[in-house]
Chains A and B, each alone.
Chain A
């Protein structure tokens, strides 16, 4: 089975990448400027206290030892203790990651139709009035800074037309309905903003594929226009779109900080930014590793998707 072997090869490569990334991240984070002990104790703390803390946090040991120590914990799900909150990192980041995953999943529900449908409409009549109108809108959204578009949407749907709460407040024991209601506006914003990339890309590849010989051939076989589109054009045009979508998903989960900040969403991205400001090394390390792992995983899925959609890739390898 050639395809299984190819997937296996991708899996091995992904695992290898992840290990490599962990080395770079752990070593790199230690090399961040600024003294974590000084951050925690304050600038006026006596040198002796700082040194004691540094020793306690194992900040001065040899790098190899510190990496192995970290990796040993990580494989058991123990990412150390946050310097700032003194809580286990996993327990601190875990819920935020879940919120972000829920937000991303919801955003994806907006992203898929919002990126495919306009492109389909555009490719029906390239350079027609509808195509031009959609191009103008997508380019506008693309070129506006994210915080501006997000704030405008917040203003429209939470202030002028108060369908949604202006701030996301997640409380323990809140019902699924209320949770969904809280997430809906940020998710729609995120889905819409990212969909614009997908629209631009898919429009181009749809128009390209429409010109392909095999599409002309499908028409000359007398197939209905609908079948030509769904069976011949779309599957081939979606291949580059799938790769872009994978990057978009990774981007969403990695934390679109701007959107999280606008909606005061307690997500993964803003947690990471806070940790960076506090030089909270264990949280930074774990956060970057999780983001990297998600990035690798999503790309792996996109590669496998492309392999399934494009038989030619299987032999070209």
Chain B
């Protein structure tokens, strides 16, 4: 029987100003029918390029050699018309971000129906019946209603279920999943992974699951392939790879994965440096609209001077809004924010300069928070000039030192944000926040875009800084393993309110609120090495 996918000697190279950049180098692998192969690697390892090549897509300006056989058909050499008949019918694709992968101007059902019409030529009522059947298969509640909605009217998890239904519509033998759960909440992640396992069991569909989440693959995949700088460094049964990695890189990758069961930092006492009392945020109602539900209500929070407090909860639970209200980016509508025992004004513009210096905010998305027209050196010089009156060579020296702190070399000083990778940009944003020499930093999902190895180093940096000088951290994250490693205490939010606050070990071992328990149940664990 022909395998679902066979890749032989695949190389893909891009033309860059300095010559050729080899994104994928001499990769050979195969996926049997009904098998799930996990492809893991850090950013820039070429795993997404490989996934797109399986769809017969090679970016303009790139050259591919070798063979990619989907169910026995060579896709790289296929003429456009034949390729379009194969895509969607023999091989489906699910991309990382379901919000951008669905057409915003088309109803969800129509986007599934068009695949069916295109490849199976079904009549309208057959199409409608099959759409409902697919919606049920991917576990959407109330399919008739949800299929009639536009993508923005669905939650992230529902959007990804629609995308999976689209990929599954024509019963392809293979589905390529490119980081399908990365942008989703942990509980939703868990559900999607369960769905994928069930679909494989029920439909026998083979999957190429691309991700940087090794613990997830350990539970889902039959085999794991590890990529590093375009090369396949290791491939074998999932349990064996995780327990007895043969390659040095795989070992390092596994060692960098934070352990959700490891010890949390010892709790720290001391008076609160930053506190919220009855914090409430209501976004302004629109024209002809009723007053909306508050985004945050009744939040009481305290942060010690040398403490890390993690704020966890699903998206939309009010984590970011709470942090923004503390920092003054969003004006609170009720309640108090106390810093060092004195109240802070709701809005940023009315706060003292020293308070701004002491409370910087690091955003989730560095693309939007770094000025694209300033070099890294200029970006880092800003807080020094504004808050400490330092400029010139001294500012550059300190900038270089701050970069070293986030594991970036001095050569990055003269680059523009666009010349850095996403993870590097995030590290520049963290370095900028630290240069102000703040007493509290508010970190909003700052590690989620980083590879595990870089993530591990930033965690060490935070821990070291807290040891060296007084630094309080409010750490918003959905990665509970990181939270366990970093946080002294954890606050859990749901629907705009705090539902539980306790010391980290307490939360992980004896959660009191059912929502906390649900979040914890969604953690994927690496099996312990024997």
A: which residues have CB within 8 A of B?
5, 8-9, 13, 212-214, 216-225, 227, 231-232, 235-236, 309-312, 315, 317
B473 at the interface (CB under 8 A from A): no
A-B contact pairs, 9 of them (CB 8 A): A5-B288, A214-B104, A221-B92, A221-B114, A222-B87, A223-B84, A223-B88, A227-B118, A236-B105
Q: How many CB-defined contacts (below 8 Å) exist between A and B?
A: 87
A272 to chain B, nearest CB (A): 33
Judging by beta carbons under 8 Å apart, are A222 and B89 in contact? Answer: yes
B101 touches A221 (CB 8 A): no
Query: B84's closest neighbor in chain A, by CB?
Result: A222
CB nearest neighbor in B for A236: B105
Contact with A231, one of B80, B93, B106 (Cβ below 8 angstroms): B106
From B55, B86, B87, B104, A236 is in contact (CB under 8 Å) with B104
Q: Which residues of A contact B166 (CB under 8 A)?
A: 217, 221
- Give Cα A213 to B151, complex, Å: 14
Report the minimal beta-carbon distance from A181 to chain B, rounded to whole angstroms: 41
Given A213-B95, A315-B153: A222 in contact with B115 (beta carbons within 8 A): yes
Q: Beyond A220-B93, A235-B105: 11 further Cβ-contacts under 8 Å?
A: A212-B100, A213-B95, A213-B101, A214-B103, A214-B104, A216-B95, A217-B101, A220-B87, A222-B84, A222-B119, A227-B114
- Closest Cβ of chain A: how far from B290's Cβ, in Å? 12
Task: Check if B102 is an interface residue, CB within 8 A of chain A.
Answer: yes
Instruction: Check B57 for interface membership: any CB of A closer than 8 A.
Output: yes
Q: Which residue of B lies closest to A239 (CB)?
A: B105
The distance from the CB of A222 to the nearest CB of chain B, in whole angstroms, is 3
**In the complex, which of the residues A9, A216, A222 contacts B88, with contact meaning CB atoms closer than 8 Å?**
A222
| Contact in complex: A312, B152 (CB < 8 Å) | yes
B binding-site residues for A, Cβ under 8 Å = 55, 57, 80, 84-89, 92-93, 95, 97, 100-106, 114-115, 118-119, 150, 152-153, 163, 166, 286-289
* CB of B97 to closest CB in A, whole Å: 6
The 10 A-B residue pairs with the shortest CB-CB distance, nearest first, are A222-B88, A222-B87, A213-B100, A311-B150, A220-B93, A221-B88, A217-B101, A214-B103, A312-B152, A317-B286
Asked whether, in the complex, the Cβ of B288 is within 8 Å of the Cβ of A9, the reply is yes
In the complex, what residues of B have CB within 8 A of residue A236's CB?
103-105
Contact call B152/A315, Cβ cutoff below 8 A: yes
A213–B365 alpha-carbon span in the complex (Å): 18
- Chain A residues with CB under 8 A of B92: 220-221
Is the Cβ of B105 less than 8 Å from the Cβ of A310? yes
Contact A311 to B105, CB < 8 A, known contacts A212-B100, A221-B118, A222-B119: yes
Name B97's contact: one of A5, A213, A222, A315 (CB within 8 Å).
Answer: A213
Q: A55 to B283, alpha carbons, bound, how many Å? A: 55
Question: Chain A's nearest CB lies how many Å from the CB of B120?
Answer: 11
- Give min CB distance, B157 to chain A, whole Å: 18
Given contact pairs A9-B288, A317-B286, A221 touches B105 in the complex (Cβ within 8 A): no
CA–CA, A213 and B166, complex, Å: 15
Most B CB contacts (10 A, CB to CB) among A221, A231, A235, A317 go to A221
Rounded to whole Å, the gap between the CB of A72 and the closest CB of chain B is 30
- When C-beta atoms are compared, the residue in chain B nearest to A310 turns out to be B105
Q: How far is the CB of A127 from chain B (nearest CB, A)?
A: 11
Chain A residues with CB under 8 A of B286: 317
Q: Say yes or no: A220-B55 contact (C-beta < 8 A), given A213-B97, A235-B105.
A: yes
Q: Which residues of chain A come closer than 8 Å to B95, judged between CB atoms?
A: 213, 216-217
Q: A217-B101, A235-B105, A311-B152 are in contact. Are A225 and B84 (CB under 8 A)?
A: yes
A13 to B286 alpha-carbon distance, docked (Å): 13
Question: In this complex, what residue of A is CB-closest to B86?
Answer: A222
Are A214 and B100 in contact, with the CB atoms below 8 A? yes
B104:A311 contact, CB within 8 angstroms: yes
Find chain B residues with CB under 8 A from A9 CB.
287-288
State the CA gap A231–B55 with chains docked (Å).
21
Nearest neighbor of A213 in chain B, beta-carbon distance: B100
Best-surrounded residue of A8, A219, A220, A235 (most CB of chain B within 10 A): A220
What chain A residues lie within 8 Å of B106 (beta carbons)? 231-232
Give bound CA distance, A222 to B89, whole Å: 7
